[in-house]
Amino acid sequence: ASLAVGGDEATSSLYAADEVSVATRDALQRAVENARPGARIVVAPGVYKGGIRFLHLRGAADKPIVIAGADPADPPVFQGGAA
């Protein structure tokens, strides 16, 4: 299953999907906060403000959490540190 998240409509109940596509910094932060073992978070190309927190992000040996760029030829760029 997959889910695209772009705005504020996302809630934690939506992250039961195996794959979540994000296109904003806020959507990425929510996806990371709600990721469960086996989740794959796919980040759209673009420039994102840094400082995203990965607190309590836990996969499992047989179900890692994967954060990947949507387009290897145009990977997302994260600039800056703390939010």
pLDDT at 17: 60
Convert the pLDDT of each residue in 35-74 to its tens digit: 999 999 999 999 999 888 888 899 999 999 999 999 999 9
- Contact between 66 and 36 (Cβ < 8 Å): no
Cα distances (Å, whole numbers) of residue 10 to 13, 41, 77, 80, 82: 8, 14, 23, 25, 24
pLDDT at 11: 42
pLDDT at 13: 45
pLDDT at 83: 52
